[in-house]
Amino acid sequence: MEDIRAYMIPGKKAHLVGIGGVSMSPLAEVLHHAGITIHGSDMRESAALDHLRSLGIEIAIGHRAENIAGCDYVIRTAAVHDDNPEIAAARRSGIPVFERAQAWGAIMRRYQNAVCISGTHGKTTTTSMMTHITMAAALDPTIMIGGTLPLLGSGYRVGHGDTIVLESCEYCNSFLSFFPTVAVILNVEADHLDFFRDLEDVEHSFHRFAQLVPEGGSVIVNADDSGAMASVAGLEHPIVTFGLSSENADFTAANRTEKQGCPAFDILYHGTLYCRAALRVPGQHNVLNALAAAAAAHALGISGDVVARGLATFTGAGRRFEHKGNYNGAEVYDDYAHHPGELHALLTTAKSLGYRRVVCAFQPHTYSRTKALFEEFVEELKLADVAILMEIFAARETDTLGISSKDLAGRIPGAHYCRTLDEVTALLRTLARPGDLILTAGAGDIYLAGEKLLVQ
């Protein structure tokens, strides 16, 4: 197999398939600034494509064989398969095809510190917290987040320091192409079962990820999460742990108080005060995320006072319990939660905030995930006072399993089923009452239902 580093040099021409994607568009910009000629394609127009075009990058809408003309190599997202016409044309022509993760891995090797934050959920928030901390530490970091962070005005940043911080996804074993010096494992649960066989297979992938950390690097693991701890069992590299309920965790929280639902607490390292953190986001899951970020910062030699300052400025990432507005006296929020564990964190936090009712409009993401985790979704969605189920967002799949959100709604007392976004918006308009918390949740386009509610 060819080494992508031989191609990632000035003067070479790269074609990016799916160039508007959340981690493909920053990759295009990084490579463009490195002197590599970039062109690409995507299925639809977007603000990301407008930005790339403003840099002089040529982009085609639609995937066609002729789009790859003149390129030296092709980079694709994990969602683009071999039957894509551009990939097929590259194979026929003998043009090397690399994965997006391979390109990020090659970029990562140029940095002294590579902080890779992984886990079934919590990655975007923890990577965002780490971004605030490394910016407060004046490390001039390069950042790659799977969401939008207000501090950056985007999901990425191209810095000039010796530190890179990346959200690191296990899907298709993407993170195994990385070269972490600090690997964070937030939690490990059964997910992406269209690729992994079962939970044990997922744990094996995270184990291999932890093995990538060199001697002198850090493996940071959630001691409260059984899947995370199982994934590092037998690992030769020493691990650093964080947790709230594990007595022997290296990083713990103590003396917790709350102000308007947001936690403040002491972060202890081996029982000694590292810093006092005051978060501006609610929920116990965010205390754990902050502990993980603090442990990663400590591994980089960042002082506790800088960690506290960085965490104090973090107000949330885009689509992570993001406040959208008020409708008929109800506060409207949006969240990316699309796994039962994420829904549990979201809904338990929402229920603790003192609203009269929690109305949750949820759009499942992919047929395979909905089928594999059906019972878990049912139990978590029962936490809402009112559950609205929109039809499944297909993403990369077609429905070969004969499953629908209507099946979920049928198992949840008082739940409503909606086929379209407009139906969700219309229902929310009739349900919304003063004192309600309205949540749109899911990794698809469900957020548009809440946005339509606020503009009509």
Segment 81-138, tens digit of pLDDT: 899 999 999 999 999 999 999 999 999 998 999 999 999 989 999 999 999 999 999 9
Average pLDDT estimate for 20-25: 86
Q: DSSP assignment of 112-148, as one string? A: SEEEEEE-SS-HHHHHHHHHHHHHHTT---EEEEEEE
> 353, exposed or middle or buried, with CB in 10 Å at 0-12, 13-18, 19+?
middle
In the predicted model, is pLDDT for residue 357 greater than 70? Answer: yes
Q: Which of 99, 123, 380, 425 is catalytic?
A: 123
In the predicted model, is pLDDT for residue 415 greater than 80? Answer: yes
User: What pLDDT sits at residue 103?
Assistant: 94
Amino acid at 397: E
Share of the chain above pLDDT 70, in %: 100
Residues of the chain with CATH 3.40.1190.10: 111-312
What pTM does this model have?
A: 0.80
| β-pairing verdict for 218-222 and 182-185 | parallel
Q: Is 124 a catalytic residue?
A: yes
Q: Is 123 a catalytic residue?
A: yes
User: What pLDDT sits at residue 1?
Assistant: 60
User: What pLDDT sits at residue 261?
Assistant: 83
* CATH no., domain 4-100: 3.40.50.720
Q: What is the mean pLDDT of the chain?
A: 93
Query: Half-sphere exposure (CA, 13 Å, Cβ side) for 116?
Result: 32
In the predicted model, is pLDDT for residue 409 greater than 80? Answer: yes
User: What pLDDT sits at residue 71?
Assistant: 96
User: What pLDDT sits at residue 456?
Assistant: 58
Q: Which of 77, 120, 124, 366 is catalytic?
A: 124
Residues of the chain with CATH 3.40.50.720: 4-100
User: What pLDDT sits at residue 147?
Assistant: 77
User: What pLDDT sits at residue 131?
Assistant: 97
User: What pLDDT sits at residue 40?
Assistant: 97
Query: Half-sphere exposure (CA, 13 Å, Cβ side) for 266?
Result: 9
Phi, psi of 142, deg, nearest 5:
-95, 135
> pLDDT for 172-182, tens place per residue?
888 999 999 99
| Domain 322-455 in CATH 3.30.70.3170 | no
Average pLDDT estimate for 153-181: 91
Alpha helices (H) in 137-236, listed in sequence order: 199-211, 226-231
Average pLDDT estimate for 401-411: 96
CA-based nearest residue to 438, from 364, 384, 377, 398: 384
Residues of the chain with CATH 3.90.190.20: 322-455
User: What pLDDT sits at residue 278?
Assistant: 97
Cα 416 to chain centroid, rounded:
28
With beta carbons less than 8 A apart as the criterion, state whether 294 and 286 touch.
no
User: What pLDDT sits at residue 291?
Assistant: 98
User: What pLDDT sits at residue 395?
Assistant: 85
Q: Is 167 a catalytic residue?
A: yes
User: What pLDDT sits at residue 318?
Assistant: 77
d(CA 173, CA 197) in angstroms, rounded, equals: 13
Amino acid at 401: L
Average pLDDT estimate for 268-296: 96
> pLDDT for 224-248, tens place per residue?
999 999 999 999 999 999 999 988 9
Residue 196 pLDDT class (50, 70, 90 cuts): confident
The domain defined by 111-312 folds into: UDP-N-acetylmuramoyl-L-alanine:D-glutamate ligase (3.40.1190)
User: What pLDDT sits at residue 319?
Assistant: 76
Question: What DSSP character marks residue 436?
Answer: E
Average pLDDT estimate for 26-42: 92
Residue 153 pLDDT class (50, 70, 90 cuts): confident
